[in-house]
Chain A
């Protein structure tokens, strides 16, 4: 057991993690002709609304994931072991269907003539709306809205919220809960004062793992949002692989996003007491 066993990975990290990030910084400050410039950052100011929208949608998705995911993780952790195993597998399993396809399938479900609208028409709900409220469309617009984008994010990233919280909850020392109960705390208080605070590391890594991919996704908004409003991910894609082709500006946008994400995470971590080195990132 020697330290040197980690050295190859150390070299690897420098080449493939540190260097690429430094390159983003380098390109962000380059003017494309070998000189240094701040012009790229000046250009970003114009895109501010895109940043605001991305962070807002990611925030909403994260809150919904937490609201849906925490109870799920909690219920799971209270099941007998073999059922826990089953539920874990059931939550991981969808990841084996390509995520583009899963998102694409939502198009069939949400479209104006998709399954939900077909269903609502069949049970007469839309007819009811039309006769009772003078509703003029024969469908409810679901696809190509911000709501559809949020749904896509929640759907794709929910497992990343559930798993870390669940991992922390099952490691929780039952003696602490028993002690609280013995001391006469009602169930609500036990949860609020004991269980929830102890599960915070899981919550925080869950939030990270949902928020970060949500804020930078560029596929979900294209498929479910109708391409009317860009997210930061789309903007970056546009600079590197799309119409605009401007890697310097793209790098600047990526850098600003990285810094913003880092700030968000830093503020988040203020809520953590920092006692656990590994956090709850472990799945």
Chain B
């Protein structure tokens, strides 16, 4: 009975531990992007995974960083453990206490502190910062695995070796190291494991050209994970599983421990060391070769593009690379403000902020004036979208898309009588089934419009009232606050209505035909997103070439078609079939755009108030 209960309990825990893993693996074979509905078996995602250079690149980075960090940590940590073992009690305690800090302080704090350190000594984020950080949090695990073995060590063995004429160095290598080897190996394996699994520290210390797999996954997690990632993880998981089985079989093979000891002592260590060296060379060499083949991080040939998530036909990147010979590093963000924060500590060549953020960046002298001689395709842009309020002299920006914010809703669940106003998001009939934007400007903007105020108001009372309205929604009707996740939750019918941008509405409506879109009668936000070159860009020529390429009619048309957003180019608009030209979702007409206004850059004080109100709201 007791036995049965124990087994039952173990089964329950392992079910809990393995259910998500099973789900992930299963859906790497799903013949659809869905992660809840099974559509049949396919190996497509495994094929596609090998064609996705960004995933492969990050996989190489992950393995390379883990191997180098584990090796460095093992060497430094083992030496340190031997040294610490010899110290007097007080120094030893001091060493071990500091050694414990990385393990017992949170990884968020560690990541942040590394970020401050590297910022302070002006070390650009990249492979070096990533490896330094990883080594630092790996060493303690090595030390803590080697120390107990040292304590078990018979002191006399070392002295005997010396008495028998060995030099201290020989005694160390021939007596001590072999004795503590199991601890070193365990420590090295743990260091490797922890480095591979780490996300938080890498998130704060990786540069945009050295993103490990976990950071790439994070940028996807916030909207939709491609099943390609499931495929990569499944392969990695099975690889480790096989490795562990082999190691376990080797360990358990010699039955008694005495026999194992004799067995180990009789074997020549040279073979083992040679094997380890070969393994290390392979593990470092293969990913390095992979990275080199993908093109090194040469500043003159890479163009660093930082864009909104799901906001570009990424196959155009390959086309651009083929045409110009530049190599594109492409990363994404999900809010103007987080792009702004990143830009403070990192360099990008092309960014695509929205109107008000362009104005703010101009104000703060973070953009460089464009040389239109190098961007001849700029002339293709419709004059309606140039010289707008955010860049009156059209010195800094090239319009990329424009659009309006509205509400995307599911006709199956929403009563037509409830449509038309922002009120839908606060309608208690749909409590728990609607959502709100997860960024202050868009969320408070919607609330301001609903209350009949300007979205650019600087009146603290109006802003407070708007924040109060959002808070009420949060407590009554909103299921959550989301950005890119809306792209998945609406078509999956996890949400019945949510505010979003018209271009993405088009994409979602293609995925689920019950979805529809309207712009609330109180008015809404009209936005223009534009390509800019930041002051700290390293490859201005490449950036200009990229912007020019994106403005070419072919690329702009392909892009507009792919992302569903309205293009600011006259020719691209003309090329569209009539049903798109006249469709108010694709190209909102004047009756709609008249009700909408564009976000302007706000005063410092108001910006601060936004931040404070937002933090207050999420308390």
Chain A residues in the interface with B (C-beta under 8 A): 1-10, 12-13, 16-21, 23-24, 27, 46-47, 49-50, 68, 71-72, 75, 82, 85, 87, 89-109, 111-115, 118, 137, 141, 143-144, 155, 158, 208-209, 212-213, 215-219, 222-223, 225-230, 233-238, 240-247, 250-251, 254, 257-258, 261, 265, 277-278, 281-283
**A243 in contact with B116 given A12-B136, A98-B214, A261-B106 (CB within 8 Å):** no
Is the C-beta of B82 less than 8 angstroms from some C-beta in chain A?
Answer: yes
A23 touches B79 (CB 8 A): no
**A278 in contact with B148 given A9-B77, A230-B615 (CB within 8 Å):** yes
Complex CA gap A258/B102 in Å reads 12
A243 touches B478 (CB 8 A): no
Q: Which of B12-45 contact A (CB under 8 A)?
A: 13-14, 16-21, 23-24, 27, 35-36
Residue from A4, A23, A137, A230 within 8 A of B83 (CB atoms): A4
Sample (14) of A-B pairs whose CB atoms are under 8 Å apart: A5-B80, A7-B83, A9-B76, A16-B132, A18-B98, A49-B619, A99-B199, A100-B199, A104-B221, A209-B104, A219-B200, A228-B618, A233-B106, A282-B145
Q: Which of B64-110 contact A (CB under 8 A)?
A: 76-77, 79-87, 93, 95-96, 98-110
Q: Contacts A227-B438, A243-B337 given; 9 further ones with Cβ under 8 A?
A: A6-B80, A24-B109, A46-B619, A72-B10, A102-B24, A230-B619, A241-B342, A245-B337, A254-B109
Residue from B13, B99, B218, B237 within 8 A of A97 (CB atoms): B237
Nearest 9 interchain pairs by C-beta = A226-B480, A6-B83, A20-B113, A105-B20, A9-B80, A216-B106, A5-B83, A243-B337, A245-B341
Is the C-beta of B492 less than 8 angstroms from some C-beta in chain A?
Answer: yes
Is the C-beta of B332 less than 8 angstroms from some C-beta in chain A?
Answer: no
Q: Which of B342-395 contact A (CB under 8 A)?
A: 342, 344
Q: Which residues of B contact A209 (CB under 8 A)?
A: 103-104
A13 touches B197 (CB 8 A): no
B244 touches A93 (CB 8 A): yes
A277 touches B96 (CB 8 A): yes
Residue of B145, B171, B619 with most partner-chain A CB within 10 A = B619
A98 touches B197 (CB 8 A): yes
Q: Which residues of B contact A281 (CB under 8 A)?
A: 100, 103-104, 144
Q: Which residues of A contact B217 (CB under 8 A)?
A: 98, 100-101
Chain B residues in the interface with A (C-beta under 8 A): 6, 9-10, 13-14, 16-21, 23-24, 27, 35-36, 76-77, 79-87, 93, 95-96, 98-110, 112-117, 120, 132-133, 135-136, 139, 141, 143-145, 147-148, 158, 168, 171-172, 176, 190, 193, 196-197, 199-200, 203-204, 213-214, 217-218, 221-222, 225, 229-230, 233, 236-237, 240-241, 244, 248, 252, 335, 337-338, 340-342, 344, 432, 438-440, 474, 478-482, 492-494, 611-612, 614-616, 618-619
Complex CA gap A137/B430 in Å reads 11
In the assembled complex, the CB of A44 is this many whole angstroms from the nearest CB of chain B, namely 11
Q: Which residues of A contact B18 (CB under 8 A)?
A: 94
Complex CA gap A162/B320 in Å reads 52
Complex CA gap A226/B486 in Å reads 11
Chain B: CB-nearest residue to A215: B106
**A241 in contact with B204 given A5-B82, A91-B17, A254-B109 (CB within 8 Å):** yes
Complex CA gap A75/B240 in Å reads 26
**A85 in contact with B108 given A226-B481, A240-B341 (CB within 8 Å):** no
B116 touches A13 (CB 8 A): no
Q: Which residues of B contact A238 (CB under 8 A)?
A: 615
Residue from A10, A106, A137, A241 within 8 A of B341 (CB atoms): A241
Q: Which residues of B contact A218 (CB under 8 A)?
A: 108, 200
B93 touches A251 (CB 8 A): no
Q: Which residues of B contact A50 (CB under 8 A)?
A: 618-619
Chain B: CB-nearest residue to A7: B83
Chain B: CB-nearest residue to A233: B108
Q: Which residues of A contact B241 (CB under 8 A)?
A: 93, 96
Complex CA gap A118/B248 in Å reads 39
Complex CA gap A16/B115 in Å reads 11
A82 touches B213 (CB 8 A): no
In the assembled complex, the CB of B180 is this many whole angstroms from the nearest CB of chain A, namely 11
**A208 in contact with B24 given A17-B98, A230-B615, A243-B611 (CB within 8 Å):** no
Residue of B84, B176, B248, B494 with most partner-chain A CB within 10 A = B494
Q: Which residues of B contact A212 (CB under 8 A)?
A: 104-106
A235 touches B145 (CB 8 A): no
Q: Which residues of A contact B338 (CB under 8 A)?
A: 241-243
B96 touches A108 (CB 8 A): no
Q: Which residues of B contact A215 (CB under 8 A)?
A: 106
**A95 in contact with B106 given A3-B87, A50-B619 (CB within 8 Å):** no
A94 touches B21 (CB 8 A): yes
A9 touches B104 (CB 8 A): no
Q: Which residues of B contact A109 (CB under 8 A)?
A: 19-20, 23
Chain B: CB-nearest residue to A235: B615
Residue from A6, A144, A233 within 8 A of B82 (CB atoms): A6
**A236 in contact with B112 given A13-B99, A17-B101 (CB within 8 Å):** yes
In the assembled complex, the CB of B482 is this many whole angstroms from the nearest CB of chain A, namely 6
A155 touches B83 (CB 8 A): no
**A105 in contact with B618 given A18-B98, A240-B204 (CB within 8 Å):** no
Complex CA gap A277/B84 in Å reads 13
Q: Which residues of A contact B200 (CB under 8 A)?
A: 218-219
B116 touches A24 (CB 8 A): yes
A113 touches B105 (CB 8 A): no
In the assembled complex, the CB of B111 is this many whole angstroms from the nearest CB of chain A, namely 9
Chain B: CB-nearest residue to A281: B144
A24 touches B112 (CB 8 A): yes
Complex CA gap A3/B91 in Å reads 10
Complex CA gap A63/B112 in Å reads 28
Complex CA gap A272/B79 in Å reads 30
In the assembled complex, the CB of A45 is this many whole angstroms from the nearest CB of chain B, namely 12
A282 touches B244 (CB 8 A): no
A17 touches B614 (CB 8 A): no
A236 touches B87 (CB 8 A): no
In the assembled complex, the CB of A59 is this many whole angstroms from the nearest CB of chain B, namely 15
**A251 in contact with B116 given A96-B240, A217-B108, A226-B479 (CB within 8 Å):** yes
B9 touches A6 (CB 8 A): no
Q: Which residues of A contact B240 (CB under 8 A)?
A: 93, 96
Q: Which residues of A contact B20 (CB under 8 A)?
A: 97, 102-103, 105-106, 109, 155
